[in-house]
Amino acid sequence: MNIHSINTHMSKTILITGSSTGIGRATATYFANHGWKVAATMRTPEKESELQTHENIEVFRLDVTDQHSIDAAIASTIEAFGKIDVVLNNAGYGTAGPFEAATKDQVKRQFDTNLFGLFDVTRAALPHFRERKSGLFINISSIGGLVTLPTFSLYHSTKWAVEGFSESLAYELRPLGIHVKLVEPGGVSTDFAGRSLDFLQKEGLTDYDPTIQKITALFSDPERSLSYSSGEQIAEVIFEAATDGKTQLRYLAGDDAKEFWAGRQQLGDDAFHGMITERFLGEG
Ligand SMILES: NC(=O)c1ccc[n+]([C@@H]2O[C@H](COP(=O)([O-])OP(=O)(O)OC[C@H]3O[C@@H](n4cnc5c(N)ncnc54)[C@H](OP(=O)(O)O)[C@@H]3O)[C@@H](O)[C@H]2O)c1
């Protein structure tokens, strides 16, 4: 068996950020069940007891806001599995509420996690990918990286930045044999809308209340969550992106995301903004 055939028979390896719950966790299990070696990274691995019982999964500490932990997790993954083929930038959370109510700290924390953290993980993995002349970054954006709703301006701005970053980086890395893809989930039944939402509120700031009430009513409509995907369904799309060999940049994930995006394209800018205004603010 020559070196080439050894390499092609070696299991592929994926490093995932934010694997403690939700999409990251479902993806770790999905890839491991499909024979991939998985570095399931998370902020508090000491709380994890299940994932590492899978023969294909190793759990490492990685907080995307802590460069030392990023470097250490990448080094541990290469030591454990010999290489990394795919980095899944998944860790993230949302802020919700009127922009005016956001403190500077809330703004900073949102960008530190969803954007600067993703930058730092990407930059740290690049020397390994360049050395191997191959590698794939899959960045979890959101349908909210392509369209917006009221009261999520900070979250959208991080995801729109992830979109622009990923698209430009894809051009830049392609000549080096390295690829970048984006997965855009719609609503997903995870902890995201619960513990992963940071609400922006300011005492005495009541002018936005009618808007907040309308948005809250729309989001808490039980009908709405019927269209949500499961973490496993998003994991399937991530697996397709990792294995289809295509140079496709964007993968919409979930029927709601596909429908929303199709509507956006059919209507064009102004009519789409009018539709969102009517649906979410009740104005024509
Ligand atoms: N759920 C949705 O509707 C939806 C839709 C579109 C896009 N997304 C995106 O999907 C991704 C995953 O979200 P999810 O839905 O799976 O929500 P989730 O279940 O709340 O998972 C979020 C994950 O991110 C981790 N995380 C947060 N800050 C981190 C940090 N500084 N370093 C490392 N990990 C950190 C959390 O870890 P801890 O356990 O340590 O907090 C958790 O594992 C996010 O990027 C989100 O924006 C979600």
Of the residues 61, 191, 251, which should be mutated to test ligand 1's pocket, given the most ligand atoms within 8 Å of the CB?
A: 191
Average pLDDT over residues 5-19: 79
Q: Is the pLDDT of residue 284 over 80?
A: no
Say whether pLDDT at 29 is over 50.
Answer: yes
Domains annotated on the chain, with CATH: 3-208+229-260 (3.40.50.720)
C-alpha 71/C-alpha 120 separation (Å) is 9
Residue 27: both structure tokens together: 């993806």
For residue 6, pLDDT over 50 is answered with: no
Q: Are 152 and 198 in contact (CB under 8 A)?
A: no
Q: Look at residue 129 in the predicted model and tell me its pLDDT.
A: 98
- Residue 177 DSSP SS3: coil
Q: 133 an active-site residue?
A: no
- Give pLDDT, residue 219: 86
Question: Are 197 and 113 within 8 A, CB to CB?
Answer: no
Q: Spot the catalytic one: 155, 166, 181, 251.
A: 155
pTM of the predicted protein model: 0.96
Cβ < 6 A, ligand 1 pocket? 17-18, 20-24, 42-44, 63-65, 90-93, 113, 117, 140, 142, 185, 187-188, 190-192, 196
C-alpha R_g of the chain: 20
pLDDT tens per residue, range 136-174: 999 999 999 999 999 999 999 999 999 999 999 999 999
Is 159 noted as a catalytic residue in this protein?
yes
Report the C-alpha gap between 198 and 30 in whole angstroms. 29
Task: Please identify, by atom number, the ligand 1 atom nearest to the C-alpha of residue 65.
Answer: 31
Residue-level pLDDT at 7: 44
